[in-house]
Amino acid sequence: MANIENRKFIALDISGKNYLSCVLDVKLHLSANKLRHTIDENNAVSNEERATALIFLRDHIDDGLKYEYLTVENPLELWQNLNDRFEHLKAVVLPKALNDWSQLRFQDFKTVSEYNSTLFKIVS
């Protein structure tokens, strides 16, 4: 329970269903803490920065992923491994969103709020 309270946002699910939002959240949080360079190529990172970024990344991934990448000691390497594993989701999510967008019709909904909710799901 304490682990959930320490998280700044929802942890990356092992299925990757929230990968795109998690990537944005991680980048924003690391930028806010002046640690964004720890996940960039060719960076000069101190051991303290590397450890802080790695702790943050490991805190925000599912326990199954955490155990799978247990031996990774570099935040850049962990970031690239997760990217390699879940990047294909963009190729899956975008066509589905485009299809949902083309099928969206106002008359299919009982209320405007239902329509708006569906619309915002597609956009996000």
Number of H helices, E strands in the chain: 7, 0
Per-residue pLDDT of 66-96, as tens digits, reads 999 989 999 999 999 998 888 887 777 778 8
pTM of the model: 0.69
Report helix, strand or coil for 3: helix
Report helix, strand or coil for 12: strand
For the chain, the domains span 18-93
Higher confidence at residue 79 or residue 109? 79
Helix 19-32 and helix 47-59, axial crossing angle in degrees, nearest 10 = 150
Question: What are the structure tokens assigned to 24, written together?
Answer: 């944005």
Per-residue pLDDT of 13-66, as tens digits, reads 888 878 888 888 899 999 999 999 898 888 788 889 999 999 999 999 998 889
Rounded to a whole number of angstroms, the CA Rg of the chain reads 18
Single-letter amino acid, residue 118: T
Which residues are 61's β-sheet partners?
A: 12
- For residues 103 and 121, the answer to whether their CB atoms sit within 8 Å is no
